[in-house]
């Protein structure tokens, strides 16, 4: 008889793990508290507009290909991908710089801003490409069980890259502050400031300029739809509206089941794909590995205030992805990490997928997604949300030279309280735990419980870290560990 596994949570990591385990012959049931799968990557559909509630940047297409290839499939079997051109726009106070869809074009943009910067950019991207090869094709597929996993002939030669930081490296080579911001931007996806992110992570510059920015037609949620379909094809049973309220452990410290909607279900293996802090709270205190003080000390990635806005006209002077870097980044970063508070003049990000993908808004209209990164755990009230909407709309109108407020059909918002309620997120974090030097690989929360036998964890708080591609990898790693330990 095949071994039964319960998975808690249907984000990218839970879904990925479910697919791998089902393929390996396990009998998998996935329990999701919400009414649809997808976790932070769910979708909002309203009045003919479609929005991704969370992720919108499809980077590292090779990792998605690797995922589907493990099942003898390819992304194209499930969704249509377009490379965005331009990749994105960066809006500064006095100008907007658009990033092209190939390195030659990006180098030309750099050279215009700073003489000699094109060749320096080539050097940066070459080095970032080397690190990408080491990290993504190799290191990130290790389960973080031991520091020795990081010791390879290649990484030994790269020791300096774990000591230096991205901010210092960029500033050593480039002096134009706009180019510095553009080169520092990709590591923000890892959840910490560039000054607190090891140099090695500059492989994100290769992901950005080397591999490009892609868009699945219909939005990121199409990837979730694809994975749900694959999971169904492999025989995974998916139960939505199924919040797990307890993980049961027997007297020999082995997991024995879960409680869902008041009912007991017996399992010899449980994998938690919900936020780690919450998952451990489903255990009795003596079975938890990490105390509150552990989580308190960790650098969490930001939370966010997000608005989903339907506009009743096409907007001008926008691209699919737009970064509003027209205020002081250092100050905003300080208000997120050093001295948590609502930011005075925040940077923000806006996307309008309807600029390139007409399926996401009615004809002649635009879907706007606006995101302000915030410190996790901040007070969240309707008044604060309204103040910040006005703040960014004013700036958006000024920078893009148009009136948009009168064209709003509806707006919905999502912030700290929603992250907590919708996903049981610790302090309402959006992207999990940051990838700082002390929160990398084996220094991140374990994939396998050290206290409860046959209890495993996956997702953006574990290895390798935040983001959709890392969550896919995390699901694979957790599934491999389960397979290894069930064979013992
Ligand atoms: C606003 C936002 C923008 C982002 N932008 C990008 C981007 O552009 N590109 C990118 O690559 N990444 C981006 N990310 C990060 C990316 O979305 C995440 O890293 C990834 O989706 C995390 O997946 P996960 O499976 O670890 O967790 P989750 O998606 O959070 O999945 C956990 C699941 O567990 C469920 N759950 C919780 N408690 C229980 C319970 N008790 N019982 C049952 N189920 C439970 C939750 O409902 C949820 O479905 C973004 C994230 C956010 C929030």
Give the confidence band of 103 by pLDDT, cuts at 50, 70, 90: very high
Contact 349, 324 (CB under 8 A): yes
Reported as a single tens digit per residue, the pLDDT across 263-317 is: 999 999 999 999 999 999 999 999 999 999 999 999 999 999 999 999 999 999 9
Reported as a single tens digit per residue, the pLDDT across 171-229 is: 999 999 999 999 999 989 888 899 999 998 999 999 999 999 999 999 999 999 999 99
Closest-CA residue to 177 (of 255, 253, 113): 113
Whether the CA torsion 425, 427, 428, 430 is positive or negative: it is: negative
**CA-closest residue to ligand 1 atom 34:** 9
Question: Does residue 205 have a cis peptide bond before it, meaning omega lies within 30 degrees of 0?
Answer: no
Angstrom distance (rounded) from CA 411 to CA 311: 9
Torsion of CA 71, 77, 79, 82, to 10 degrees: 100
Contact 381, 353 (CB under 8 A): no
Question: Would the pLDDT of 152 be above 90?
Answer: no
Give the confidence band of 486 by pLDDT, cuts at 50, 70, 90: confident
Task: Provide the pLDDT for residue 161.
Answer: 72
Q: State the chain's mean pLDDT as an integer.
A: 95
Residues with CB under 6 A from ligand 1: 8-14, 31-34, 39-41, 54-57, 243-244, 273-274, 278, 304, 306, 371, 423-424, 430-432, 459-460, 466-468, 471
What phi and psi, each to the nearest 5 degrees, are found at residue 269?
-140, 135
Q: Which atom of ligand 1 is nearest to the CA of 12?
A: 25
Angstrom distance (rounded) from CA 8 to CA 6: 7
Q: How far is the CA of 40 from the centre of ligand 1 (A)?
A: 3
Give the confidence band of 419 by pLDDT, cuts at 50, 70, 90: very high
Give the confidence band of 81 by pLDDT, cuts at 50, 70, 90: very high
Question: Would the pLDDT of 156 be above 80?
Answer: no
């Amino acid at each position: 008889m095949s071994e039964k596994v319960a998975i808690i949570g249907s984000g990218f990591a839970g879904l990925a793990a479910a697919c791998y385990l089902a393929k390996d012959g396990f009998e998998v049931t996935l329990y999701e508290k919400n009414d649809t799968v997808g976790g932070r990557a769910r979708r909002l559909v309203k009045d003919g507009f479609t929005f991704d509630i969370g992720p919108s940047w499809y980077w590292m297409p090779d990792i998605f290909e690797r995922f589907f290839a493990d099942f003898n499939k390819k992304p194209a079997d499930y969704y249509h991908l377009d490379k965005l051109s331009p990749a994105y726009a960066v809006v500064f106070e006095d100008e907007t710089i658009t990033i092209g869809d190939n390195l030659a074009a990006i180098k030309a943009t750099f050279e215009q801003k700073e003489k000699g910067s094109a060749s320096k950019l080539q050097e940066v991207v070459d080095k970032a490409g080397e690190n990408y090869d080491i990290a993504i094709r190799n290191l990130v597929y290790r389960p973080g069980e031991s520091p020795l996993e990081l010791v390879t002939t290649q990484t030994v030669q790269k020791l300096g890259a774990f000591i230096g930081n991205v901010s210092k490296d960029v500033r050593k080579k480039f002096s134009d502050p706009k180019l510095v911001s553009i080169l520092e931007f990709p590591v923000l996806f890892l959840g910490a400031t560039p000054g607190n992110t090891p140099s090695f992570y500059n492989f994100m510059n290769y992901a950005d300029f080397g591999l490009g920015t892609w868009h699945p037609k219909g939005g990121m949620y199409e990837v979730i739809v694809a994975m749900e379909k694959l999971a169904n094809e492999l025989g995974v049973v998916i139960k939505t509206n199924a919040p797990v309220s307890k993980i049961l452990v027997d007297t020999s410290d082995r997991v024995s089941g879960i409680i869902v909607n008041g009912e007991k279900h017996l399992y010899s293996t449980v994998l938690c794909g919900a936020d780690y802090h919450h998952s451990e709270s489903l255990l009795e205190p003596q079975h938890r590995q990490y105390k509150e003080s552990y989580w308190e000390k960790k650098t969490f990635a930001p939370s966010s205030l997000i608005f989903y806005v339907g506009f009743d006209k096409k907007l001008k002077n926008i691209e699919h992805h737009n970064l509003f870097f027209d205020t002081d980044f250092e100050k905003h970063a300080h208000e997120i990490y050093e001295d948590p508070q609502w930011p005075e003049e925040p940077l923000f990000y806006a996307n309008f997928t309807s600029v390139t993908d007409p399926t996401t808004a009615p004809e002649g209209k635009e879907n706007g997604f606006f995101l302000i990164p915030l410190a996790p755990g901040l007070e969240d009230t309707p008044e604060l949300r309204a103040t910040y909407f006005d703040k960014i709309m004013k700036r958006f109108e000024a920078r893009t030279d148009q009136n948009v407020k009168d064209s709003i059909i509806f707006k919905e918002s999502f912030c700290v309280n929603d992250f907590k309620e919708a996903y049981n997120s610790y302090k309402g974090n959006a992207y999990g735990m940051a990838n700082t030097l002390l929160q990398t690989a084996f220094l991140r929360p374990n994939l396998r419980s050290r206290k409860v036998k046959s209890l495993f964890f996956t997702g953006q708080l574990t290895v390798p870290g935040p983001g959709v591609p890392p969550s896919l990898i995390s699901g694979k790693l957790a599934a491999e560990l389960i397979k290894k330990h069930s064979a013992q």
